[in-house]
Amino acid sequence: MALRSIFDASVLRTEFENAGINPKFIPLIWKNVLQNPNCKWDEIPSLPAAAYPLLNSKFLPLSSTLHSVSHSTDAVTSKLLIKLKNGAFVEAVILRYDSRLGQYGGKQRPGGLRSTLCVSSQVGCKMGCTFCATGSMGFKSNLSTGEIVEQLVHASHISNIRNIVFMGMGEPLNNYSALVEAIRAMTSAPFHLSPKKITVSTVGIVHAINKLHHDLPTLNLAVSLHAPVQDIRCQIMPAARAFPLEKLMAALHLYQKNSQQKIFIEYIMLDGVNDEELQAHQLGKLLETLEVVVNLIPFNPVGNTSQFKTSGEAKVKNFQRILREIYNIRTTVRKEMGQDINGACGQLVVTEQDRLLAERKGLITDIEDLHL
Ligand code: SF4
């Protein structure tokens, strides 16, 4: 049997239970790996005797490796390129925020810095959004629970991670069981992240949204809506055909009724496609009975997604004004790619991978893995 990540929580728990080992030792093992990812199982004290041969024969401390880290010049973002056991690459992005300065970045002071980690859930993505470079790559594989949690382990050695957003590569709700299990691991010892500080971003997988509140009650939900009517959604997000807007909105109303939480709405602004006044009014009407925050995202052309153009600033501002003033909807505009983690999934990841690919051309033998 291939060795599994120690953070593949349900596999580890089942193995322990089958061997008569109390699963209460799992947090202790994870704590040791978090402190020292290169630890040997025999170096962890106080485990039951039966645990050592089991760990040695079936589990690795980490199944992925941190291939490289690049920091933005202002030290606000760090991008981690992580190589999985199967040779594929995913990226996780750290964004630093100093709450006492009230702005991203700034001078670091002890205790004042909070970091958000943007996590990938899949290699590639099958949703095929036409404005997204990840979508154009197609779907390669789901990440395991361990591969998702290991992104946090790698990042924790670089920054003090307090928030998680599932906005990296992939549609998290298409990898539902690994996602739920990974979040449960992240919110338990030794990570102890607050579920309120974890956000899952989805294009709107209706049946999964309907389960989410039950499985992860205090999670934050972000929905990549991107259009206020079904025909425009289908045009730019082919997967929307399977999830009619009417059903998605019903799922969001039910989710909010059960969770009592705000829902974050992501809306990428595509010139002449979804950024007209008509669409602002349609969006306002669609959302006015929900408690939402809308994040307007000026499109950033990446790779072969350049069939679209970025909406002009005046159009974006007018769109924001209509939502705010006429429909009383809290609406923000993302300023710059890399300055704000609340982007649509996929885009940031591939942008950086492309850059790394260009930089390393000819230097690594498995370069085509970056194209996946
Ligand atoms: S925008 Fe998100 S869901 Fe759509 S193709 Fe890209 S990664 Fe997948």
Domains of the chain: 4-60 (no CATH), 65-370 (3.20.20.70)
Q: Are 279 and 228 in contact (CB under 8 A)?
A: yes
pLDDT digits (tens, 9 = 90+) for 331-371: 999 865 444 433 444 454 444 454 444 343 322 222 222 22
Tell me which residue of 348, 356, 338 sits closest to 75, measured CA to CA. 338
Q: What is the pLDDT of residues 118-176, one digit of tens each?
A: 999 999 888 888 888 777 778 999 999 999 999 999 999 999 999 999 999 999 999 99
In the predicted structure, residue 108 carries a pLDDT above the cut 50: no
Residue nearest to atom 2 of ligand 1 (CA): 345
**129 part of the active site:** no
Tens of pLDDT, residues 288-322 = 999 999 999 988 776 555 788 999 999 999 999 99
242 alpha carbon – ligand 1 mean position (Å): 15
Ligand 1 contacts CB of residue 338 (under 6 A): no
Question: What pLDDT is recorded for position 148?
Answer: 98
- Give the 3-state secondary structure of 204-223: CCHHHHHHHHHHCCCCEEEE
Give the pLDDT score at 99.
Answer: 54
Contact status, residue 346 vs residue 136, Cβ threshold 8 Å: no
Q: Extract the tokens encoding 99.
A: 């709450």
Q: Give the Å distance between the CA of 100 and the centre of ligand 1.
A: 33
What is the average pLDDT across 262-291? 97
345: annotated active-site residue: yes
- Please state the pTM of the whole predicted model: 0.87
Which is catalytic among the residues 118, 125, 129, 345? 345
